[in-house]
Amino acid sequence: MTEDRRRAIWAIYVWCRRTDELVDGPNASNMNNSVLDRWEERLEQIFEGRPYDMFDAALTDTVFKFPIDIKPFKDMIEGMRMDIKKSRYENFQELYLYCYYVAGTVGLMSVPVMGIDPKYSHGSIDNIYNAAVLLGIGNQLTNILRDVGEDAIRGRVYLPQDELAQFGLSDTDVFARKVNDRWREFMREQITRARFYFNQAEEGALKLNEASRWPVWASMLLYRKILDEIEENDYDNLTKRAYVGRTKKILMLPWALARATSFSNLVLQ
């Protein structure tokens, strides 16, 4: 990406990381709704040009340089409110909303920085924003599937309760950390759904500004690879954390470049 885009993505990343740390970080035990209310006030000040500290200032600089809306940032804070209130999701509809709040929003924050290919910027750009949300959802679903074991230690189960029940499973099976055939079947379905979201995002990813496409394709391929690793671990995401090694990651970069460039665009069309 260009230098100014890189800096902007960094500023967004830092804000999201700090937001997440409020709930997941070392001070999480002091977390309550008034901390989040204060964080939201600070967010408004960032957008009004009155940042509180130097990391906030990096985001103020970003939102003055790029046409970024405050809504996805507020929605992410809403996701944190949801995370402190809830530790179970009854069905996929509830989980989808959570995934939108904590990850789909990142897609919406990123598109104005990454830019849209001039070929597509005159028509409707809603489908590109939709694709960005879908990629965020795919990432978050993958993250949830990778971290089932770790989340269980924190007393959290992000898998839809009704779908667990359809496979004759419940929280007890998650906490028992036993991988059996029912669990494997259930995981197969969950992985298929995560892949569906990545597939849906691909077309929009090809409509981003050319300079931004490679990093997006690279991250998309790498995140998808986590799903392959869960399969390779024979669906044991209860005692193992699926991990993509450094060599595999590096080897995927040229492939991501090929998928992201206009050459592959021509071939694929």
Binders of ligand GRG among residues 7 to 66 (CB under 6 A) are: none
* Residue of 186, 207, 192 whose CA lies nearest to 130: 207
Nearest to 235 by CA among 113, 122, 123, 148: 148
Residues 189-228 that bind ligand GRG (CB under 6 A): 201, 204-205, 208, 216
Smallest distance, ligand GRG to C-beta of residue 43, A: 18
Using the rule CB under 6 A, give the single segment among 81-89, 101-109, 156-164, 186-194 that binds ligand GRG. 101-109
**Residue 106 found at the interface with ligand GRG (CB under 6 A):** yes
132 forms part of the interface with ligand GRG (CB under 6 A): yes
Instruction: Candidates 107-115, 175-183, 239-247, 252-260: pick the segment binding ligand GRG (CB under 6 A).
Output: 107-115
Give least dist CB 49 to ligand GRG, A. Answer: 25
- In degrees, rounded to 5, the angle at the alpha carbon of residue 62 between the alpha carbons of residues 42 and 211 is 145
The helix (H) or strand (E) run that includes residue 205 is: helix 181-205
Burial 87-122 (b: 16+ CB within 10 A, else e): eebeebebbbbbbbbbbbbbbbbbbbbbbbbeebee
d(CA 212, CA 5): 9
Helices 246-260 & 210-232 angle (0-180, nearest 10):
140
Q: What DSSP designation does 87 have?
A: S
Q: Please identify, among the stretches 35-43, 104-112, 172-180, 186-194, the one whose residues bind ligand GRG according to the rule CB under 6 A.
A: 104-112
| Shortest distance, position 102 Cβ to ligand GRG, whole Å | 7
- Applying CB under 6 A, among 131, 148, 187, 194 the residue interacting with ligand GRG is 131
Residues that bind ligand GRG (CB under 6 A): 103, 106-107, 110-111, 128, 131-132, 135-136, 139-140, 143, 201, 204-205, 208, 216
